[in-house]
Structure 1
Amino acid sequence: MFLFYVDECGDNSLARDAGGTGLKAGVSEFFTLSAVGIRDSSRGAIARDLVKIKRKWLGFESSHDLTGWSATEIKGRHLGRAARSVAAGKRLPRPLGFSLLTNHDEVDGLLRDLGLIFTRYRPITFSVTVTSASMANVPTRSIRWESPTPTFTSEWR
């Protein structure tokens, strides 16, 4: 069995400009949806390896401390912002764990260790990127998910 982590990147508001002909200023030009699948049998080992990486580079202390978890959450945008900050001779102030990265070698070390997770466990990855403008022209549809918990409806464009 595979477990999937699904996340998006980009602004899904699709807000239109005053004339209705283009996207409003500040809306992301692209929208990306990605999924990473890992084997259920590897879940524990991957979690342990990620905690080791977080302790080594981001000062993570305990998986029971939710404050520490959010301060060291590994997100692409945090990695990119940290790389740009150290390149400019600064530190990324937030999230707090990323403020420990003080130079290019440390950011590269974190990226290398994360890359080794992919090399070691070989997850399945799926990604799709579309232009936000093309999504704005798709008619709205209602999609319903059924689950043991109460059903909810989400509007998708």
Structure 2
Amino acid sequence: MHIRRICESEGDAAGTLWDHMCRETGDGRPLTERARRDVSRMLAASAWHRDAFCLVAVHPGGRLAGFVNGRISTGDGLLPGLLGEIEALYVVPGDRGQGAGRALARAATDWLVAQGARTVRYLSCAGAHDDHRFWRSLGFEADMVCLSLYREP
């Protein structure tokens, strides 16, 4: 298995993996067909986009084992330098435990740093303790708290 930038033609396959990721969360559900098309288009555009990326873990036969995506930006402009953001990381259940997730996370961090990021950020849900352990094992540290107020429409 190797890690590389997504090819534009792999957008649909990566969008399908995103849909699987959504179904696996505790309160998740399938993407609508429109949402899956939009996600697939976004991931496909990451093949050539200057500020966004999608890296894929690929088996020798070409099957995707997982992906990681994100972007580089100035953020809100308050931190020095550029901000790298990792949006999502997903590994197919049958390929977990073989180092693909760790390899994808490191490749994403390396890509962002190579683009000039001084800070790399991954946002996670408060109760996602396994997720927190994974990212902490890669040197990330908890430094923010996000509180949300949900109001009825």
Say yes or no: TM over 0.5.
no
Larger helix share, 1 or 2: 1
Greater CA radius of gyration, 1 or 2? 1
After TM superposition, the score normalised by the length of structure 1 is 0.24
Asked which structure has the greater RCO (Cα within 8 Å, sep 6+), the reply is 1
After TM superposition, the score normalised by the length of structure 2 is 0.24
